[in-house]
Amino acid sequence: MLRELSGGKLPEPAFALLKEVLGRPISMGTWLELAWRLAAMLPSTSTDAAVQAARSLVTVDGKPSDLTKEIQETIVPDRNVFSHAVTPTEEAIAQAEGPLHGLWQRFKRAIEGLGASQLVVRAELVDFETTGNARYKLRILQGGSDHFPIREETVHGKLLENWCYLLRPEGVAPLALAPVVSCSYSEESHRREVFVARTLAVEPGAKIDAMGVVSTTKVRLKVPE
């Protein structure tokens, strides 16, 4: 989004922030910090649903919002504990269920503007148009990951293979999610999977590590040109 608002170039403050984590594994806590610090660079007056969703992580003056603080204090520590082979007891799960459910509902309300958009990946180019639009077959990345539905859409601009986009309504150009979110066929799991970057790079051609959203499948990806 910052690239889109800056004519396709990553603003220097955003690049300076990302330089702090380039090339090394990124923890959930670091992802959250990157998210709110980058969100603070977005215009608070924007009516774009993606910007508004991101800005829910910060206050008007660019500080972590109450939602962000609650995720930092509640979700991140639990995730770190249970991701390191600690099995929670039924009692611990029951005790945490109520507050976590409430936080999940607040988070969904904060990003509800994205409900009119869809996560997609290019399946096939059908045709180019002289207007700068193109007709594509797109995989709609929702539901069962073994059978993502495909439909044709006319979009503005070019879609890269294997990289995900946020398909926005009313003819707005799709928002590129490279080099963070991708979708491709995995030889390891024998199915198409959505992957999220585990490491980051910004130079075209540089390699990043990514992991499956609903699996432990790992892939090595190249940052697109």
What is the structure's pLDDT at 212? 93
Of 115, 136, 164, the one marking the end of a domain is 115
Mean pLDDT over residues 38-53, rounded? 94
169 and 130 both lie in a single domain: yes
62 and 20 both lie in a single domain: yes
How far CA 112 is from CA of 25, 55, 56, 115, 147, in Å, comes to 30, 13, 11, 5, 25
Global confidence as pTM:
0.88
121 and 89 both lie in a single domain: no
Q: How many CB atoms lie within 10 A of CB 108?
A: 11
Report whether pLDDT(78) > 80: no
Domain that holds residue 101: 2-115
What is the structure's pLDDT at 83? 60
- How would you write the chain as a 3-class SS string? CHHHHCCCCCCHHHHHHHCCCCCCCCCHHHHHHHHHHHHCCCCCCCCCHHHHHHHCCECCCCCECHHHHHHHHHHHHHHHHHCCCCCCCHHHHHHHHHHHHHHHHHHHHHCHHHHHCEEEEEEEEEEECCCCEEEEEEEECCCCCCCCCEEEEEEECCCCECEEEEECCCCCCCEECCCCEEEEEECCCCEEEEEEECCCCCCCCCEEEEEECCCCCEEEEECCC
pLDDT digits (tens, 9 = 90+) for 82-107: 565 566 667 766 676 778 889 999 99
Ranking 40-49, 151-160, 182-191 by mean pLDDT, the lowest is 182-191
122 and 209 both lie in a single domain: yes
For tokens 């509800």, the residue is: 112
What is the structure's pLDDT at 132? 83
pLDDT digits (tens, 9 = 90+) for 61-76: 999 999 999 999 988 8
11 and 90 both lie in a single domain: yes
25 and 86 both lie in a single domain: yes
111 and 121 both lie in a single domain: no
88 and 61 both lie in a single domain: yes
55 and 69 both lie in a single domain: yes
130 and 59 both lie in a single domain: no
108 and 8 both lie in a single domain: yes
Of 115, 144, 178, the one marking the end of a domain is 115
154 and 211 both lie in a single domain: yes
Q: How far apart are CA 164 and CA 221, in angstroms?
A: 13
Instruction: Report how many domains make up the chain.
Output: 2
Report whether pLDDT(51) > 70: yes
Of 61, 94, 115, the one marking the end of a domain is 115
| 224 vs 147, more confident | 224
